[in-house]
Structure 1
Amino acid sequence: MDGSLEYSRHKEDLVRTVRSLQVASQNTLQKAVPLLSSQPGLGLLKPSHVQQLSKKTTQVCRDLEDVGNLLLFRQDELTQKVTIPGKGGASSVHWCSDGSLYVCGDNGPYIHVLNSHGKPTQAFHCRDDVLFLPECVTMTRSGAVAVTDIAEGILRIYSPNSYPPWIRVGGHFKSPKGVAVDSSGRVLVAQYTCGEVQAFHVDRGHRIHGVKKASGLRGPQYICPTPDGGFAVSEECGDVKLFSANLKLSGSLSVTYQHEFGNPAGICADPEGNILVADAQKRNITLFPPSGSPICIVSHGVCKPAGITCSPFGLLYVADSGDNCVKVYKYRAKPYYTPTSPHRSGEALA
């Protein structure tokens, strides 16, 4: 009971503080706007006063953004732990709109499909001429499973009507690791040793065209599309780079947020533009909002976080390769929107 009363007092204090700021700013605007519109000068107000007010306002706005984010997000709220069958592993995970998960790892030649309740429903055997170990998994625009094979330097797409069902796409790549599909349907492949991302379209005949490259990276690992049409890439050497839709470098999380990474691995972005990064060395997951300071949403409980993905229901799925499982966290207080689709099964893991 005492705890509930304390929380209530804190809420009242916060509401009172925000309301005071709102009232004070409205009063100032009501006084200032008519004067600034009619009189030629600033009266007794000096430029130094304006500069000081500007600096304080900027800091207050940042503090308010941080308050809003801290109210919205959650930390270490584990809702489920899904163990992957013995032959498989968990280093890459992809969430689909029907609530299912596609999981793979370098412990076995399988892609495991889990339903919205975390139960295995299907397994794709990774074999064409020989067995291969999938490095990373994603879904193409047409709904086909695509995986990278870093050992053979190949991108494969699963086609159940073909024999063998795994079709090699695009010839040879240089150590393909992360793979994703952007908002335009292009396949993005992070090539680890040569430090570049290759972007291209795949037609129905599994031929690639429109190949473009983004270079200058240092050990690119995982890759994810961003809501603005671009993509983000994690670098093993300690940074996350942002690229625009035309493959031009547009930013760096370490520079923009003054954040020090250890070994950034899995990465994903949600519909609001928040970028989530798993740090395999620090064993945590940090959220980078479009406005405000970074927030650590998973601070403990993961052995070696690798691939991550999130859903519109405010759930984060972490492939923990050190624990051979997928851990599900609720990192938002509310979903981004209320889905009208009948496929609401993704909520079952909450």
Structure 2
Amino acid sequence: MDYSLECARQKEDLLRAVRSLQVASQNTLQRAGPLLSSQPGLGLLRPSHLRQLSQKSSQFCRDLEDMGNLLLFRQDELARKIPAPTPGGSDCVHCCPDGSIYVCGGDGPYIHQLNGQGKPGQTLRCWDEGFFLPDGLAVTRSGAVAVTDLAGGAVRVYNPHSQPPWVRVGGDFGAPRGMAVDSSGRILVAEYTAGEVQAFQVDRAYRVHGARRVSGLRGPRYVCATPDGGFAVSEECGDVKLFASNLKPAGSLAEMHRHSFGNPAGVCADPEGNILVADEQQRSVTLFPPRGSPICVVSRGLLRPSGVACSPSGHLYVADPGDACVKVYRYRVRPYYSPGGAGGSPQVTPRS
């Protein structure tokens, strides 16, 4: 059967079902509204009926949210593969607002900047009184590249006007791995051995100010900022913890969604608050929406997914060092929607 014809029929069936529900609910409200506002009794309606209605309506609302999410996202739609730059590797990927990406890995002391299509741009050599291998990567609000060095126990920021160009950030770092920059400009660093995340500001002299720590984590690996001002951090032992903007715990994805992780690695959040997690053991990427059940957006074709990043155009970049490349997926059916445009009119980000 022609796929387009079958898809059109499925859309018609879904629209017919939703409209039937809408008509039925409106008719019930029209009949019940005057009685509920004026009549003192409830007729034959019993408490058991109310409990049953509450349970069924709650489950039905959850089912509708899940159905709405399934309409918005795609699965396993690979757009292209970007070969890992050499030397360097493809363990970590970061996407910038202009659509360019930074890629680094354990195969060499280099960070490569590429455009959204994978064409090479700038290459940064990781050297500071000797070569070092970058583990985590982020870009500050001023546009400077910042990295973590697990072996050297250091956080560095690239400054092309200094010699050497990588300047160490002052502070106490033991085993820094993942890093990110939140909406307020704070740098977030996951300390693997200490089981904590450090949050701090850096001045022009690269000194740390206002440092705060979140402890009690088990093997934190990657960290990402979330649109609400908080952040998410993946734990090697099998969970992803959420924190609010005040650094207070806000739950975990495993508990909130009753999801079983294998070995969560890279984590990122898109502008609509969806959190995407790469699972090295399960070789997949799962999307966790603000409301509704998790959705596996990449279920096959990955060998060892590590870092993940979302682009402004709605693409998902998955660093797969097991396949020596960065894989780009279309994980959305439609562009991002933002109700906060100029004049209060909706804005969409066009899909490339």
Answer whether TM exceeds 0.5 for this pair: yes
Q: In the alignment, is the contact (CA less than 8 A) between 1:312 and 1:337 conserved in 2?
A: no
Residues 1:291 and 2:291 are matched in the alignment: yes
Q: In the alignment, is the contact (CA less than 8 A) between 2:137 and 2:148 conserved in 1?
A: yes
Q: Secondary structure at the match of 2:35?
A: helix
Cα distance, 1:225 vs. partner?
A: 0.5
Q: In the alignment, is the contact (CA less than 8 A) between 2:91 and 2:105 conserved in 1?
A: yes
Query: 1:107 — aligned with what?
Result: 107
Q: In the alignment, is the contact (CA less than 8 A) between 2:171 and 2:207 conserved in 1?
A: no
Equivalent AA in structure 2 for residue 70 of structure 1 = L
Query: 1:281 — aligned with what?
Result: 281
Query: 1:150 — aligned with what?
Result: 150
Equivalent AA in structure 1 for residue 299 of structure 2 = S
> Where in structure 2 are the equivalents of 1:65-104 lying within 5 Å?
65-104=65-104
Query: 1:209 — aligned with what?
Result: 209
1:309-331 C-alpha deviation (Å, 9 max, x unpaired): 00232100011111121110000
Cα distance, 1:170 vs. partner?
A: 2.2
Greater mean deviation of Cα atoms: 24-33 or 286-295: 24-33
Cα RMSD between the aligned structures? 1.6
1:221-262 C-alpha deviation (Å, 9 max, x unpaired): 000011111000000000000001111111110001000000
Query: 2:127 — aligned with what?
Result: 127
Query: 2:254 — aligned with what?
Result: 254
Cα distance, 1:172 vs. partner?
A: 3.6
Q: Secondary structure at the match of 1:303?
A: coil
Higher relative contact order (CA 8 A, sep 6+): 1
Cα distance, 1:139 vs. partner?
A: 0.3
Cα distance, 1:347 vs. partner?
A: 7.0
Q: In the alignment, is the contact (CA less than 8 A) between 1:180 and 1:225 conserved in 2?
A: yes
Tell me, in whole angstroms, the C-alpha distance in 1 between the residues paired with 2:197 and 2:251. Answer: 15
1:264-306 C-alpha deviation (Å, 9 max, x unpaired): 0000011111000000000000000111110000001111110
Equivalent AA in structure 2 for residue 7 of structure 1 = C
Unmatched 5+ stretches in structure 1: 341-345
Q: In the alignment, is the contact (CA less than 8 A) between 2:263 and 2:281 conserved in 1?
A: yes
Query: 1:267 — aligned with what?
Result: 267
1:10-45 C-alpha deviation (Å, 9 max, x unpaired): 111111111111111111222222221212222211
Tell me, in whole angstroms, the C-alpha distance in 1 between the residues paired with 2:186 and 2:42. Answer: 55
Tell me, in whole angstroms, the C-alpha distance in 2 between the residues paired with 1:117 and 1:144. Answer: 22
Query: 1:343 — aligned with what?
Result: none
Equivalent AA in structure 1 for residue 285 of structure 2 = I
Q: Secondary structure at the match of 2:138?
A: strand
Residues 1:42 and 2:54 are matched in the alignment: no
Unmatched 5+ stretches in structure 2: 342-348
Q: TM-score, normalised by structure 2?
A: 0.95
Q: Secondary structure at the match of 2:146?
A: strand
Tell me, in whole angstroms, the C-alpha distance in 2 between the residues paired with 1:100 and 1:313. Answer: 11
Residues 1:25 and 2:30 are matched in the alignment: no
Residues 1:187 and 2:187 are matched in the alignment: yes
Cα distance, 1:85 vs. partner?
A: 2.1
Equivalent AA in structure 1 for residue 101 of structure 2 = L
Cα distance, 1:79 vs. partner?
A: 0.4
Tell me, in whole angstroms, the C-alpha distance in 2 between the residues paired with 1:29 and 1:347. Answer: 40
Query: 2:302 — aligned with what?
Result: 302
How many residues in Structure 1 have an aligned counterpart in Structure 2? 344
Tell me, in whole angstroms, the C-alpha distance in 2 between the residues paired with 1:263 and 1:66. Answer: 25
Tell me, in whole angstroms, the C-alpha distance in 2 between the residues paired with 1:165 and 1:46. Answer: 75
Cα distance, 1:96 vs. partner?
A: 0.7
Query: 1:232 — aligned with what?
Result: 232
Q: In the alignment, is the contact (CA less than 8 A) between 1:313 and 1:334 conserved in 2?
A: no
Greater mean deviation of Cα atoms: 106-115 or 40-49: 40-49
Query: 2:346 — aligned with what?
Result: none
Equivalent AA in structure 1 for residue 47 of structure 2 = P
Tell me, in whole angstroms, the C-alpha distance in 1 between the residues paired with 2:259 and 2:350. Answer: 32
Equivalent AA in structure 2 for residue 149 of structure 1 = D
